Chain A
Amino acid sequence: MIQATLSGIKNLTIGMFVTFKNMMTKPVTFQYPEVKRTMPERYRGRHFLNRDENGLEKCIGCSLCSINCPVGCIHVVAAENDPENRVSPGERYAEVYEINLLRCIYCGYCEEACPVDAVVLREHYELADYNRDTYIATKGDLLVYPEPNQFRVNILGNTERTNSK
């Protein structure tokens, strides 16, 4: 009986020790949404379209992302560049580029397929909204990268366009 009590106290102390020990360390959870997590670099979140060093769109409208997409959620319509007034460096650019973010499974195949590293999946994961229509990301929504300060994340986690054309 005494032995049992002693062993109980011992176990309790060991248990409490773990508790007290962890009270002192930094918690692993986050106070989301007040605190946001920094995602690993290769996290596959929301898509962006890159620009090159001259500010031209990298995308050449080749539709390879679209054909590689396992759910078929990318729609590309290409057009020919006007050499006087270029949109992208080559002969061809994407006139329409749309991704249906609701259908997307964030597999990253589009990024993989892109021959010019135009489409990328970045660390933005806050994609909730009340309105389905906002999930059709158009070129204007996607081209906000690479200047991170050009877009901001609203309370519900959606990227708002700030440099809309």
Chain B
Amino acid sequence: MADDQVTLTIDDQTVSVPKGTKVVDAAKSVGIEIPVFCYHEKLGPLGCCRMCLVEVEKMPKLMTACTMDVGPDMVVKTTTPKVEKAQKGVLEFTLLNHPLDCPVCDKGGECPLQNNTFKYGPGDTRMDFHRAENLKAGPLSPVITLDRERCIACQRCTRYSEVIEQDNALVMHNRGFNNEVGTFNNEPYDTRFSGNVIDICPVGALTNSQFRFKARTWDLTNSDTLCAHCGCNCNMTLGVRTNKFMRIEARPNDLVDDGWICDKARWGYDFLESKNRLVEARTVPDNGTMVFSSPTTQDAAVRTAEAIKKIVDEHGPESVGFIGSPYGTNEELYLYQKLFRLGFGTNNIDHKTYADSPGLPIDHYDVSEIETADLVLVIASDPTEELPILDLRIKKVVTRHGVKLAVLNDQATLMDKYAHLSLRYNIGSDAGVFAALTAAISGEGMADIKTTGIKADQLKSLVEMLRASKKVTLIYNSSALTGQSVAVLKQLMAMIKNIPSIECGAIPAVPHTNAVGAMDMGILPDYYPGGVPVADGEAIQQTWGETAPTQPGLSAMEMIRKAESGELKALLVYRANPVVDFPGGKQVEEALKKLDLLVVHDMFETETAKLAHILLPSNGPGVDDGTTTNIGGRVQFRKGGLKTAHPPDWKIISLMANTVSEEGDGINYITSFSVTDEIAKNVPGYAEISKKSIKKEGMTRVSSASINATGAVSKESSPPKPEALKLRIANYLFAHNTILDATSTLAHHFKPSIVHMHASDAKKLKLKNEDDVVVVSGDTQVSAQVEISNRCNPGGVVLPNISDEQGVWGLANSRDSVTWVEIRKV
């Protein structure tokens, strides 16, 4: 047996566990339950509640199993009369001042205090006095209710705040009998991850205000599903009663979310029952071909397919296009690309406005690989706002596993606080930095990096850090890069891989839920599913048949431009909102208005949906089944929970496909998994994915190898006016948009529009903190308030995207180069 294994006996069973395991966990591994309150495997031992007392041979007193490491040949007994007496005593003591609230308590039915009392507690109480009275049901934050009478002072919540969130927002006040959970100055406890304390509180002291009294826990129908808000794809449980949404809880999966979910998951699902939802198909009878008004979705889908087909027949396949969404499931996206490629013969398919291509020159790391790395390099990504659970994991490994963190970004993020090295390049000079770093690693010496804002010695220390590490995990957000610099970044990756002593992998951290899946499913004008380039005619024809188009199609931005010039006649927009989210704003709207046929297939009445000739409702997450691929390439099943008579998207799309199909009835899929099976057959890298293989923890798909990316460092564009500044649009987790609308439970997180600038620029422009300004680019203006925060280097501004209304993307002209803006005082 290896040295790091320890063998001991628990209740006559021999257990062998790794060294350092606590006795509770060792017992759990063989199915022996030792009751606990304060111990939580993610928080580590504390030993304050004494619930876990056990007898250990040769030790005179009872020991707390949660704080005791296993030792060789230890003999532990958990059911002796001495232990039972102690358990009864501890529970009687714990219950002394606990109100008998079970019938009205939201924790009832899933409460460890209830369960432990039932299993190990005394049948009765000897308490004859008045129980202590304390705060009942007060708000700890707008979304969490605190009941101090129920609190048993186990400190799980405060330690969560300290150990996991690491901001000590929730603390224990006072001592002894006056011990109470609270925040500084009674500020609301509203962090990004506050909701997890509800799950870990072993009593009903911290409860979900949204779920308060809505249902008893045993009345819920829980579906094991995934969060649909960001690329982490955290596992969660969706609780439904009488087909109404009730609550969200975390569903620990260490490979994905490490047991936590963020508050956007827990309270960001009001959209399921939003007033803004599309419930009925609609058509606008204005272009001659459409003369019906309120059809069923199936009718509208058939007409859509016929109308697009007609345009293809008249104007050729280049005249139609598809803009998909990185929020769709793999099945939906796969079927759409198949419809457009095989049904309409076009490659005008895209889902994004930034440059990126499938495949990596290095390994695609799963999220859990961060834990075994010794250097994490975060590039242009802001996990805190974009992929919150990734932020927790990075914090964990940096502070507790001794992993080094280096940050390379154009804006300050909360990661900087934990970083061992944090480099800030000028907005728009990302490609230059990557190229310089590549050169430095390859030993070509220092490139000229004066214009990038990074000093030579900083770059050198980053290179040294890289060289000193054995395993590097790169986390990069290609949607925050400018122009073609993602290609330069991939060259950098290839270069790092060439250092023989380094094992290196990357996590493409684009924030959108299924951004990786969208790339894999070939929602790209120049790649078929699985990263097969259109140029590879042979491979394509083998899988997709003779008729599959092999000309590169138009990218999303090109489609918008061609729509403007009238060359593109018909566009189908699936769960995307180009009018708000694409660079150009008004221009995009004008372009879409010129189309002969605009079909919008979406969950909400978006700004784009308002322009549509045909509107198809989509059920979306929470209702439809499907798989998504997270940033670590892990494919998991996102189950629906609510039922509806409206057909799921995959049915709508396959109906369209069957309408235009020349071979009889086409394919009839039975469930979403029938599509998954087809994906496994046709998409390289997904061969192993099936209902069974992804059941428990999901399964990582095989990443496609990168096609040698070529991208040169383009020359920096020069300012149109001397006082112009470079714009960086940042993300904000709780942005006010169609998903989190005005009635959202998270509305207290909405922020005003703020433009962050460097002190030296503010001085030049004579601006002070809190000055009201407009950010101007072309004829688009966005109003904002100045905050002098040095969030970026001089010469640029950071403008977080805080709402749809704010319209920040209207400022950007395209993603080819950096956008210049002027700041004008109003």
Binding site for B on A (CB under 8 A): 60-64, 66-67, 77-80, 90-92, 115-116
Contacts and interface: CB of A to CB of B under 8 A. Distances in A.
Contact of A78 (B136, B137, B213, B218): B213
Contact of A60 (B104, B214, B218, B219): B104
Given A62-B104, A64-B103, A90-B104, 9 more contacts: A61-B213, A63-B215, A67-B218, A77-B214, A77-B215, A78-B213, A80-B212, A91-B136, A92-B104
Given A63-B219, A91-B136, A91-B137, A115 B214 contact: no
A141 B212 CA distance: 27
B277 interface: no
Interface string B299-320: 0000000000000000000000
B804 to A, nearest CB: 32
B216 A63 contact: yes
Interface string B126-152: 000000000011000000000000000
Contacts of A90: 104
A115 B100 CA distance: 11
A78 B214 contact: yes
Contact of B213 (A64, A67, A80, A115): A80
Contacts of B108: 62
A78 B216 CA distance: 9
B137 to A, nearest CB: 6
Contacts of B104: 60-62, 90-92
A67 B216 contact: yes
Contacts of A78: 213-216
A62 B204 CA distance: 15
Contacts of A116: 103
Contacts of A64: 103
A79 B213 contact: yes
Interface residue tally of chain B, by bracket?
A: 10 to 19
Contacts of B136: 91
A90 B105 CA distance: 11
B218 A62 contact: no
24 contacts: A60-B104, A61-B104, A62-B103, A62-B104, A62-B108, A62-B216, A63-B215, A63-B216, A63-B219, A77-B214, A77-B215, A78-B213, A78-B215, A78-B216, A79-B213, A80-B212, A80-B213, A90-B104, A91-B104, A91-B136, A91-B213, A92-B104, A92-B213, A115-B103
Contacts of B214: 77-78
A61 B136 CA distance: 18
B579 to A, nearest CB: 40
A116 B108 CA distance: 16
Shortest beta-carbon contacts, A-B, top 8: A62-B103, A63-B216, A78-B213, A92-B104, A115-B103, A92-B213, A80-B213, A60-B104
Interface in B174-232: 212-216, 218-219
Nearest to A62: B103
A24 to B, nearest CB: 56
A92 B213 CA distance: 7
Interface in B23-77: none
Nearest to B108: A62
Interface in B461-501: none
A115 B136 CA distance: 20
Contacts of A66: 219
Contacts of B212: 80
Contacts of A115: 103
Most chain A beta carbons < 10 A, residue from B104, B212, B215 = B104
Contacts of B218: 67
B216 A60 contact: no
Interface in B91-111: 103-104, 108
Nearest to A64: B103
A88 to B, nearest CB: 10
Nearest to A95: B213
Most chain B beta carbons < 10 A, residue from A67, A90, A92 = A92
A154 B213 CA distance: 37
Contacts of B216: 62-63, 67, 78
Contacts of A60: 103-104
